[in-house]
């Protein structure tokens, strides 16, 4: 555990379990809180296993950025069909959600963090029929190497007409992928501007929060293991851009499973934890309340915070990068005391 950590850096987080609605309710036979008309009352969970959740109840309707203008002298792209939901982050960051007319993927494939505008777009399934494609009437189809089968099925409908097809690899460097999508929608200038804006804010946040003097550990609980993350995970890349320090044991690219021998490698000035699905959450809750975990420095100081797994690990892109940056901005000097 680094010895130069100052307890003066700890700011208190409110440890509340507030309801997101103030309606009177009654409990039904299923013990679910409901309004008098039977509607389920939505609640915001702010803590898990005595750990505060960073930005709990975040308003995803504000994820996407303002609409951007096409490059000078280039035509606008007004009707977009997407075969890989991973490409939607770039369109969200360019403010082009309204131009997306269909997603060739199963229902529910769009990440929730992209907000209601994109999650409400019609999902046409892996093999859409010609009528659905004609209704979307795309002038551009954005695809990826991973969704080649969906693209083949799309072509098989015979309804694409003169639509232009562009393939972008969302698993490549996230900033390059963003530029590639921006080029496909004639917004290369806007892409450059927005990446520079993000970079400037990341560096400002790092400077103001003295990020290089706080070592942050990343621990991810999956259904099968507890992982100490390295530098290649998306959230870790954003931390690096901010200038946040990482423990020496976490300065290699790959994630490492936790064992009895390396358990304390998870410790640092601050630990961000996340949970992959319900099984990852169950594993995490058991570990976070265990004696070996609670005996480490950061848990003793209440310097363990939970971040959203989907945003930090399961996706990438400029829209998600802003969410990670905002998480760090609101929590780097905070705690789970309460």
- Per DSSP bridges, beta strands 270-275 and 216-221 are parallel
Band (pLDDT 50/70/90 cuts) for residue 338 is low
Two tokens at 203? 């560096």
Q: pLDDT of 182-221, one tens digit each?
A: 999 999 999 999 999 999 999 999 999 999 999 999 999 9
| Residues 274, 251 share a domain | yes
The owner of tokens 């100052």 is 6
31 close to 306: Cβ distance less than 8 angstroms: no
With residues binned 3-state (H G I as helix, E B as strand, rest as coil), the percentages for the chain, rounded to 5, are 40, 15, 45
| Residues 151, 90 share a domain | yes
Band (pLDDT 50/70/90 cuts) for residue 43 is low
User: What backbone torsions phi and psi does residue 88 show, to the nearest 5 degrees?
Assistant: -70, -25
Q: What is the pTM of this model?
A: 0.87
- Per DSSP bridges, beta strands 80-82 and 47-48 are unpaired
CATH code of 93's domain: 3.40.50.1980
In a domain, 231, yes or no: yes
Examine the pLDDT at 75 and tell me if it is beyond 80.
Answer: yes
| Residues 178, 150 share a domain | yes
Range of the domain at 109: 80-186
Lowest-confidence range among 31-35, 40-44, 100-104? 31-35
8-state DSSP, 140: E
| Residues 268, 122 share a domain | no
Q: pLDDT of 227-278, one tens digit each?
A: 999 999 999 999 999 999 999 999 999 999 999 999 999 999 999 999 999 9
pLDDT at 44: 72
In a domain, 255, yes or no: yes
| Residues 291, 171 share a domain | no
Please report, for residues 149, 151, 304, the alpha-carbon distance to residue 146 in angstroms, rounded to integers and kept in the order given: 8, 10, 36
Q: pLDDT of 45-64, one tens digit each?
A: 899 999 999 999 999 999 99
How far is Cα 236 from Cα 286, in angstroms, rounded to an integer? 24
E strand or H helix at 305:
strand 304-306
Q: pLDDT of 272-293, one tens digit each?
A: 999 999 999 999 999 999 999 9
In a domain, 67, yes or no: no
| Residues 215, 235 share a domain | yes
307 close to 280: Cβ distance less than 8 angstroms: no
The residues with which 123 forms a beta bridge, in sequence order, are: 103
In a domain, 327, yes or no: yes
In a domain, 2, yes or no: no
In a domain, 75, yes or no: no
Q: pLDDT of 106-148, one tens digit each?
A: 999 999 999 999 999 999 999 999 999 999 999 999 999 999 9
In a domain, 191, yes or no: no
């Amino acid at each position: 555990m680094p010895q130069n950590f100052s307890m003066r850096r700890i700011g208190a987080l409110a440890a509340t379990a507030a309801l997101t609605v103030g309606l009177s309710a009654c409990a039904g036979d299923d013990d679910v809180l409901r309004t008098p008309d039977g509607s389920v009352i939505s609640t915001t969970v702010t803590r898990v296993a005595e750990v505060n959740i960073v930005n709990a109840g975040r308003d995803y309707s504000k994820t996407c950025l303002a609409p951007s203008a096409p490059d000078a002298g280039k035509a606008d792209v007004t009707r977009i069909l997407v075969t890989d939901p991973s490409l939607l982050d770039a369109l969200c960051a360019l403010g082009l959600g309204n131009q997306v007319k269909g997603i060739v993927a199963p229902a529910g494939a769009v990440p929730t963090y992209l907000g209601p505008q994109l999650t409400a777009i019609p999902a046409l399934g892996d093999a859409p029929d010609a009528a659905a494609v004609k209704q979307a009437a795309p002038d551009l189809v954005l695809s990826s190497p991973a969704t080649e089968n969906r693209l083949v099925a799309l072509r098989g409908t015979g309804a694409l007409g003169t639509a232009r097809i562009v393939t972008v690899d969302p698993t490549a460097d996230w900033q390059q992928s963003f530029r590639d999508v921006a080029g496909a929608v004639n917004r290369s200038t806007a892409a450059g501007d927005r990446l520079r804006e993000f970079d400037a804010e990341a560096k400002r946040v790092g400077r103001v929060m003295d990020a290089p003097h706080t070592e942050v550990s990343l621990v991810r609980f999956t259904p099968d293991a507890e992982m100490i993350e390295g530098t290649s995970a998306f959230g870790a890349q954003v931390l690096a851009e901010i200038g946040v320090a990482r423990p020496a044991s976490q300065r290699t690219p790959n994630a490492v499973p936790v064992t009895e021998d390396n358990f304390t490698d998870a410790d640092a000035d601050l630990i961000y934890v996340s949970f992959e699905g319900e099984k990852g959450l169950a594993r995490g809750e058991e570990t976070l309340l265990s004696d070996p975990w609670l005996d480490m420095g950061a848990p003793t100081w209440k310097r363990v915070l939970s971040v959203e797994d989907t945003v930090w690990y399961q996706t990438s892109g400029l829209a998600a990068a802003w969410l990670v940056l905002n998480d760090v901005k609101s929590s780097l000097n905070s705690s789970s005391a309460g």
